[in-house]
Structure 1
Amino acid sequence: MKTIAIVDDDVYIGNMLEEALQKEGYAVLRAYSGTEALFLLSKHQPDIVLLDLMLPGLCGEEVLPKIRAIPVIIMSAKVSVDNKVQLLLDGAVDYVTKPFELKELLARIQVHLRPHATALGSEVLRYGDLCLDTKTHQVTAAGHSVRLTKTEFAILKYLMRNPNQVITKSQLLDQISADTPDCVESSLKVHVSNLRTKLREQDNKENIEAVWGIGFKLL
């Protein structure tokens, strides 16, 4: 189930959106101020953030640059083209002007939840501060580029395609064997350890948990 975070201090609009999104099968998170939004996002990883600009505490323009690796759709009554352009340059993926048509917003959400792909088969995976492009083999953590070996990349790609799941060692080895036939159970732990270190050096946090006796999962 995909999760949408609504950041809006207008209770009526928030309630309307929450009801509509739940009818469409989405889980919903709510925040009513910029500060609350950042706290919420430090604890949860929604698939999309719907962000109002006129918020108490930190305004939407201040919150937006602090949101990484999550698509943000701006919802605002501001209609200036310059405002829209600047927000898109600052990282928003879309902008809807209040009052908006609910059907249009739902359609935009669906579009941005589709895997990013090209005719050549590129897919961009996102999880927390991590971003991985399967076509270019580019990986970033908290916006910083991370250079990975072929094996480390294959491990991270499979974990990001299966977030919130504990992946057993045998399952991981089986899934990455086509890309990394030289990786065996005795060396897997070393590859994962090196991967964890490289990611931690960029975003200062643990991204992969070793589940004792079983395997690994993304945090």
Structure 2
Amino acid sequence: MKTIAIIDDDIHIGDMLREVLVQEGYSVLRAYSGTEALYLLSQNKPDLVLLDLMLPGLSGEEVLPHIENIPVIVLSAKVDVQDKVNLLLGGAADYMTKPFDTKELLARITVQLRKAEQHGETKSLSVGDLVLDMVSLSLTVQEQPVKLTRTEYAILKLLMENPKQVISKSVLLDRISLDTPNCTERSLKQHISNLRKKMQDVSGVDYIETVWGIGFKLAEQKILTKS
């Protein structure tokens, strides 16, 4: 499931966009100011960002340079051609003027996500000494190969995409449901246990931390790159 971050202080527009995107099968993150956007992006790596320009705190123009390797579609009421040119040259992938047609926006989102995949911007994920190859669906731990099932791969990919964030069981199940529809709340615990053991057998390290009553995350002391 692809994740899209909506950065817009207009609650009505944000709610409308969230409803449309969820109906299309996307997962959605929200931020309502430029400062909140930077924090959100430091904790998560969405597949695409919808960015408003007129934000409280830092403006969209100030936020844009901080977004790397993620396609950004700017949504703004500004219609000046030079504004559009400057933003596209400044790193935006696309620009839509408010008000916009949601069907056109969805089409542009599809195009940008397809381009990102074709350019191979997300061929692998690296967190400390964990490297997850997103083409072969393979994992190396401390440079040692570890075979994963499809469900274990989906779980670890989500944890590695959000290395500082606790992922609840319900979010885990929702985010991996398209790739692993047979994973249930009852079987999730066993899948994570198997994943833990595989990585621990190779490294002697437990890379997954259980946050009781909430969910799971990568263990912070284990995700630092070895010197």
- TM-score grouping bracket, smaller chain normalisation: 0.5 to 0.7
Q: Deviations over 1:193-213 (max 9, x none)?
A: xxxxxxxxxxxxxxxxx9433
Q: Distance in 1 between matches of 2:33 and 2:47?
A: 19
Counterpart position of 2:50 = 50
Contact persistence 1:8–1:55 (CA under 8 A): yes
| Structure 1 vs Structure 2 CA RMSD | 3.2
Contact persistence 1:74–1:95 (CA under 8 A): yes
Contact persistence 1:125–1:160 (CA under 8 A): no
2:12 partner amino acid: Y
Q: Distance in 2 between matches of 1:50 and 1:62?
A: 14
Aligned length: 151
Q: Deviations over 1:81-123 (max 9, x none)?
A: 1000100001000000000001000110011111457xxxxx4
How is 1:60-99 mapped onto 2 (pairs within 5 angstroms)? 60-99=60-99
TM-score, length of structure 2 as denominator length: 0.58
Q: Distance in 2 between matches of 1:162 and 1:102?
A: 35
The unaligned stretches of length 5 or more in structure 2 are 149-197, 208-217
Counterpart position of 1:161 = 135
Shift of 1:70: 0.6
Shift of 1:161: 3.3
Contact persistence 1:167–1:214 (CA under 8 A): no
Counterpart position of 2:200 = 212
1:114 partner amino acid: R
How is 1:76-155 mapped onto 2 (pairs within 5 angstroms)? 76-116=76-116, 123-127=118-122
2:30 partner amino acid: R
Shift of 1:25: 0.3
Counterpart position of 2:181 = none
Shift of 1:20: 0.3
State, as a whole percentage, how many aligned pairs show the same letter: 57
Contact persistence 2:5–2:30 (CA under 8 A): yes
Distance change (3 Å), C-alpha of 1:9 and 1:162: farther
- If asked which structure has higher relative contact order (CA below 8 Å, sep 6+), I would say 2
The unaligned stretches of length 5 or more in structure 1 are 118-122, 133-140, 142-154, 173-209
Q: Distance in 2 between matches of 1:63 and 1:73?
A: 13
